[in-house]
Amino acid sequence: MVVFYIFLITFVASGLGAVIPPSNTSHFDGQINLERIVCGRVWITVHTLEVRQSTNTILDAIELNWDYTGCISAWRQIALFDFQPGATSWHDALVKNDTIMQTGRFVTNVPLGDVNLPGGWQNGQGTRGTHCLWPWIGGGATNVEIINCLKIQPTWMQDNADLINNLRLGELALPGTHNAGSWRFNSPISDAARDLFVLCQDRSIWSQLVHGIRYLDFRASYYNTYPNEDDRYWLNHNFVRVRPLVPLLREIRQFLDSTRELVILHFHQFPVGFEENNVLNRNVHAGLLRIIERELGPHIARAHDFPWTAGSRGPVLSSFINANRRLIVPYNQDRIVSENNWLFPQLPHLWANTNNVDELFRYLDNQLQTQNPRPTSRNPMHSAMAQTTLTATDIALFRSSIRQAANDVNHRVTWRLLNQWRRTSNIIASDFFLGNDVIDMSIIVSRERGLQKVEMADTNDETI
């Protein structure tokens, strides 16, 4: 019964609202002041589309988001601050907006700007815990009653180890990035049309991990025109070359060296160079595996050391942490996996392959209601790809773009993870991840599942 009340209090405090006690610092450790629990939730995202003004164009406008569903009365105001607001800070807000609907978002004309990652995490290891960037959001009526910030959470798994370490891989809720390496072209020369239809992220691999992303979707390609083998391996978006692979692997290595976090590095596609005349090129795959082992070897969790049965939810998180093997490498080529038993087999990839937002969510709702993991799945995890797919006609007619598609999808992904997908999701991978709140929601849901597991264990002990 005590566990139940702990669960209830934590659920209300962290699940429905990031209610942060006032302080004079940009850092907080995630602890909730329970005396300030109020109904509702507010959060900040970064608008994916350009905001055009008379004198300039903003590509990173700050969005204010709120959800007061189930509250007795909706609050009257939402506001953006450049400091952590107190109860009477309305007059110091950069932007204020009346909140009429119970849920909504408001796009400001204030850019996020070129900000350093706080807490010492800009280029290397910083301090543990959650750290706020400069934008803060406040909501309330007469007073500011609930606040939140745009944040980085580089050590969220370690910070919540007491609750989530006994969860199995398939029980965790993990935030991911689709086409994680398609974030900026290696060449300084950029073409607007190419950017619109190729780039899926706007933050580096290092920044993605520091913000809290724990699943990276990589599409590796091979170009034999380079004399040095390291230079031949790139990350692509389909057939378009975006960034060389090895520097990105070193960013992952630096992050793993700096933390106690688990990372899933999924080699999901091999668009160019891994086949020759439609025949698998084992030498090209072997070269890629040599590079992965050379750059990341000390952190790789070798699948043969962490056994599980098909259709199960896999090993518990603590087994990877205790072994200090915190990098899982699923590989979407069955023959190569069968010849290299340190690789994890491909994981079910829930991909709707549609350019229609409603069809996307109907597909994912249906897939995430079915049995997970799949009884025949060789990997205990599954990834829901929360993005639409542009057609050739969309691209040819400039009918949409990846940014436009992400803008149409991302706010609905946050709501889905809070509601329909709360019990069944595992990995949610999105484009332009700062356009949603999947990182915060994944942490909340993982904590919630960990508490439920503790409660069930205590109930079973009492029964025995």
DSSP string, 174-207: EEEETTTTTTS-SSS---HHHHHHH---SS-HHH
Predicted pLDDT of residue 75: 74
Same domain, 106 and 173: no
Instruction: Report the pLDDT value the prediction gives residue 31, as an integer from 0 to 100.
Output: 36
User: Which letter, b or e, does each residue of 113-143 get, where b requires 16 or more Cβ atoms within 10 Å of its Cβ?
Assistant: eeeebbbebeeeebeebbbbbebbbbbbeee
Query: What does the pLDDT read at residue 61?
Result: 96
**How many Å apart are CA 93 and CA 137, to the nearest integer?**
9
Q: What range defines the domain where residue 380 resides? A: 156-461
| The pLDDT of residue 122 | 95
Residue 408 and residue 289 share a domain: yes
pLDDT (0 to 100) of residue 24: 36
Q: How many domains does the chain fold into?
A: 2
Q: Which residues pair with 219 in a beta bridge?
A: 269
Clarify whether residues 216 and 348 are in a common domain.
yes
Which has the closest alpha carbon to 259: 217, 320, 169, 172? 320
Among the listed residues 100, 132, 99, 114, the one whose alpha carbon sits nearest the alpha carbon of residue 30: 132
Residues 128 and 270 in one domain: no
**Distance in angstroms (rounded) separating the CA atoms of residues 67 and 382:** 28
Eight-state DSSP code of residue 225:
T
222 and 79 within one domain? no
Asked if residue 217 lies in contact with residue 180, where contact means CB atoms within 8 angstroms, the answer is yes
Low-confidence ranges of the chain (pLDDT < 50): 1-37
At residue 420, what is the residue type? Answer: Q
Residues 306 and 168 in one domain: yes
pLDDT of residue 25: 39
Q: What is the CATH number of the domain that holds 220?
A: 3.20.20.190
Do 128 and 173 sit in the same domain of this protein? no
Tell me the pairing of strands 61-67 and 103-111.
antiparallel
Question: Same domain for 125 and 33?
Answer: yes
For the stretch 256-273, pLDDT in tens is: 999 999 999 999 999 999
Residue 346 half-sphere exposure toward CB, CA atoms < 13 A: 13
pTM, rounded to two decimals: 0.91
**3-state secondary structure at position 217:** strand
388 neighbors 186 (Cβ within 8 angstroms): no
Q: What is the pLDDT of residues 350-365, one digit of tens each?
A: 999 999 999 999 999 9
Are 222 and 272 a contacting pair, CB within 8 Å?
Answer: yes
Q: Across the strands, what pairs with 110?
A: none
Which DSSP helix (H) or strand (E) runs through 439? helix 438-463
Dig out the tokens for 169 from the structure.
């891989």
SS (H, E, C) 348-407: CEECCCCCCHHHHHHHHHHHHHCCCCCCCCCCCCCEEECCCCCCHHHHHCCCCCHHHHHH
- The alpha-helical segments, DSSP class H, found in 237-382 are 245-258, 282-296, 317-322, 334-339, 357-369
Categorise residue 324: left if φ over 0, alpha if ψ from -120 to 50, beta otherwise. left
Q: Are residues 83 and 208 in the same domain?
A: no
Domain end call among 120, 151, 182: 151
Q: Domain boundary residue among 127, 151, 175?
A: 151
Q: CA 431 to CA 403: how far, in whole Å?
A: 8
- pLDDT for 60 equals 94
CA distance 212 to 194: 28
Q: Last residue of some domain: 130, 151, 172?
A: 151
Q: What pLDDT sits at residue 12?
A: 34
- Say if residue 141 is in the same domain as residue 160: no
Q: Tell me: do 304 and 390 sit in the same domain.
A: yes
Check whether residue 198 and residue 269 sit in a common domain: yes
